[in-house]
Amino acid sequence: MRGILKTARTLVLTGLVLTAPARAEPVTVLALGDSLTQGYGLPTEAGFVPRLEAWLAAQGTDVTVINGGVSGDTTAGGAARLGWSLTDEVDAVIVALGGNDILRGIPASVAQANLAAILDQIAARALPVLLVGQRATANFGAAYQQEFDAIYPALAAQYDTALFPDFLEGLNSLPDRETVVAGYLQADGLHPNAEGVRLVVAAMGPAVLELITRTSAR
């Protein structure tokens, strides 16, 4: 009788082990971007990448986000340095470039070609991508603004990547621009302060979480 009970207990425990959900493997995400990604003007822990990683960890993910942000970088700069940024440990990529192209008035067609070169390199590694858009200002006219804003959805469709339309969606979605400038931006009026980064991460976080979910399911 004891032998029968012992065998039954072994079978039950074995069944529990076999049916228990497997823990997801750790995921490493490269955040390729400019000063917005890099955390310009902020203590390291208050920047976009550390805050995003903390937000994702709070959702129960085992993730490392690599800070691939370079202040002042353009889409051309990102395309040039991506090769050495895509190390073997990288499982997925956030591409968040274009803001400095806008500030410099770089033609939308040039920026689009550079972003396509970036996406080509990532596609060659078969890595999931979240493409993050940058909203153009009207400084160079309405036509330029419309042409630049159209880059990101066009590329997302062409490369079948996920798209988050606006890096600063968490701020730009607020109804009062004066409140944004006074409460959520640094003195330069361009970069979010620590509280602004919190809103940026809260808005973008679910899209990055979906990227990680898709990566883990591969």
pLDDT in tens, 133-167: 999 998 999 999 999 999 999 999 999 999 999 99
Residue with tokens 């410099």: 104
What is the value of pTM for the model shown? 0.88
Residue in 77, 74, 95, 115 with CA at minimum distance from that of residue 29: 95
Does the pLDDT at position 189 exceed 80? yes
Mark whether 188 is an active-site residue. yes
Q: What is the pLDDT of residue 152?
A: 98
Sheet bearing 27-33, strands edge to edge: 63-69, 27-33, 92-96, 129-132, 162-164
| pLDDT tens sequence across 87-115 | 999 999 999 999 999 999 999 999 999 99
Residue 1 has pLDDT above 60, yes or no: no
Q: What is the mean pLDDT of residues 48-72?
A: 97
Stretch 122-129: mean pLDDT, rounded? Answer: 97
Selected catalytic residue, list 85, 173, 188, 216: 188
The catalytic residue among 35, 91, 101, 149 is 35
Question: Backbone phi, then psi, for 55, in 5-degree steps?
Answer: -65, -45
The pLDDT score that the predictor gives to residue 128 is 98
> 76-90 pLDDT, tens per residue?
999 999 999 999 999
Q: Which domains does the chain have, with CATH numbers?
A: 24-216 (3.40.50.1110)
Kindly state the average pLDDT of the residues 205-218.
94
Q: Does the structure show a pLDDT above 50 at 15?
A: no
Length in residues, the chain: 218
For residue 191, indicate whether it is catalytic.
Answer: yes
Q: What is the mean pLDDT of residues 120-128?
A: 97
pLDDT at 218: 81
Q: C-alpha angle 50/71/213, rounded to 5°? A: 40
Report residue 147 as tokens: 């042409």
For this structure, is 35 an active site residue? yes
Q: What is the mean pLDDT of the chain?
A: 90
Q: Report d(CA 134, CA 81) in Å as an integer.
A: 20
Active-site position among 149, 176, 191, 216:
191
Q: How many CB atoms lie within 10 A of CB 199?
A: 19
- Are 131 and 95 contacting, i.e. CB atoms less than 8 angstroms apart? yes
Structure tokens at 4: 């029968």
CB-based burial of residue 201 (10 Å sphere; 0-12 exposed, 13-18 middle, 19+ buried)? buried
* Residues 108, 59: Cα–Cα separation, whole Å: 36
Q: How far apart are CA 166 and CA 145, in angstroms?
A: 14
Q: How far is CA 169 from the centre of its chain?
A: 13
